[in-house]
Structure 1
Amino acid sequence: MLTLHTAPLVLPVGAEPVPDGAVLVDGDRVAAVGPYEKLAAAHPGARTRRWPGVLTPGLRQLHGRWLLTRCYHPDPREADELGTAPISGPALDELAPDAARMAGSVRRGLQRMLAHGTTHVGGPFPDAVRQSVVRSGLREVPAGPSTADPAHLDPFADGHGLPRTVHGPLTVGGPADLAVFDVPDADALTAEGAGTCVATVLGGRLVYRRR
């Protein structure tokens, strides 16, 4: 089924921004990128999903291995005691979560990455963690150099702009890995960060939507 994801500003990266733009998704691939009115007229049977803000390629989280193997992501029921941010370093040693708690932490960490517009995550991972990554649909990529606190879920924390934070440009025939952020433009996105994410699409599937 064809789906049109439309937003006030589409930022394909590697091509000019498209005001009132849209990305046409066919299965797990990008079929077209352009003005919404033009694509909607050419594909009248396509389902439309309207989003606020900017639509970009999905983001790349370089700290995937660290976040999933050396951090603990508290359960919401633990928030009063432990907060909501990833726990690492001496605080993690003091918490000393067992294998079952760490397995739950991995699942929550993956969900929170999706909630930050992440579609690609830096590995490599131990086998047990890799299984969870595969089930989540996130795409494993090599980790790269970084300057940020590795216990940060926001890929923009490294201080790079959008072109160096996305997994790659949106191209016709490429994977339909998209993210949507409730900000007006690219400068606001890098300033306010990926916590503004309202939706993440991975392989054409809507895998996160802010409630």
Structure 2
Amino acid sequence: MLTLHTAELLVPGPGGAPLPGGAVLVEGDRIARVGPYDDLAAAFPHARTRRWPGVLTPGLRAPGADELLERTYYPDDPYEVPELGADPISGADALEALKMTEARWGNSARRGTQKLLARGVVAVCGRFTVASVRTAVSRSGLVILPPAASEGPPGLDPLAGRDTAGEAFHGLLEPGVAARFAVFAVADEGELLARGATTCVATVIGGRLLHRRR
């Protein structure tokens, strides 16, 4: 099936010229075309169209994901929130008190990957040593990359501490590449950097819509 994803502004990647009213045409798990929506809609009239508010960009890359998913616990909402609170829990003493098991780490990692997808993340950097966490990340659709010392500190928002939003992009939006991108409810890259990844409204990996803000 062909799907056209279009937004008010398309940013193809670091250094690429923003395209107002741009679109990506997705065929299967790949990007088939990139260009003005009107041109692509005319050339592929049978493609399904998804219109998004804001800016469509390459998906984001999250550094230190092993810290985020193997050394941070995400309470199960709503069941554990009254006792543990809603905030992620880290630190050796706090985690020891939780009596973590591999199964519990896997369940926490699934909740953590959902938080990352909800921030436009499509790739994570880290070396996972807990089997259930590694399985959860693989099943989420996120691309696993080797650790990168220059990526900055770990955090759920890959845009935090960046000089430009493009520094957090994973890949480019161009024909032939895997369809991994995100849409943010902002006007441009500057506003995206200022407001952060929680402005994400949609995340697509392998052509599949894995997050959509309700």
Q: CA deviation digits over 1:55-108, x for unaligned, max 9? A: 000100112111110000111112344333321114334434333322210110
* Percent of residue pairs identical: 55
* Cα deviation, residue 133, structure 1: 1.4
Alpha-carbon distance in structure 2 between the residues aligned to 1:83 and 1:189: 29
Residue number among 169, 172, 177 corresponding to 1:174 in the alignment: 177
Alpha-carbon distance in structure 2 between the residues aligned to 1:178 and 1:162: 14
Alpha-carbon distance in structure 2 between the residues aligned to 1:36 and 1:155: 29
Q: Which runs of 5+ in 1 are unaligned?
A: none
Q: Tell me whether 137-146 or 170-179 shows the greater mean CA deviation.
A: 137-146
Alpha-carbon distance in structure 2 between the residues aligned to 1:129 and 1:93: 17
Alpha-carbon distance in structure 2 between the residues aligned to 1:65 and 1:52: 32
Q: Tell me whether 93-102 or 155-164 shows the greater mean CA deviation.
A: 93-102
Alpha-carbon distance in structure 2 between the residues aligned to 1:72 and 1:58: 24
The aligned counterpart of 1:15 is 16
Q: Tell me whether 72-81 or 36-45 shows the greater mean CA deviation.
A: 72-81
- The one-letter amino acid of 1:52's match is P
Q: Which runs of 5+ in 2 are unaligned?
A: none
Equivalent residue of 2:21, what SS?
strand
Equivalent residue of 2:53, what SS?
coil
Counterpart contact for 2:162–2:168, Cα < 8 Å? no
Q: CA deviation digits over 1:9-47, x for unaligned, max 9? A: 001114211101111111111111111111101110000
Alpha-carbon distance in structure 2 between the residues aligned to 1:121 and 1:58: 11
Q: Does residue 1:114 correspond to 2:117, yes or no? A: yes
Equivalent residue of 1:102, what SS?
helix
Written as runs of structure 1 = structure 2, the 5 A alignment for 1:31-110 is 31-77=32-78, 78-89=80-91, 90-110=93-113
TM-score, reference length from structure 1: 0.93
Counterpart contact for 2:11–2:19, Cα < 8 Å? yes
The aligned counterpart of 2:2 is 2
Counterpart contact for 2:103–2:132, Cα < 8 Å? no
Alpha-carbon distance in structure 2 between the residues aligned to 1:156 and 1:80: 30
Q: 1:93 to 1:104 in 2, by over 3 A?
A: same
Q: 1:158 to 1:82 in 2, by over 3 A?
A: farther
* Cα deviation, residue 162, structure 1: 1.9
Alpha-carbon distance in structure 2 between the residues aligned to 1:37 and 1:120: 30
- The one-letter amino acid of 1:200's match is T
Residue number among 109, 119, 139 corresponding to 1:135 in the alignment: 139
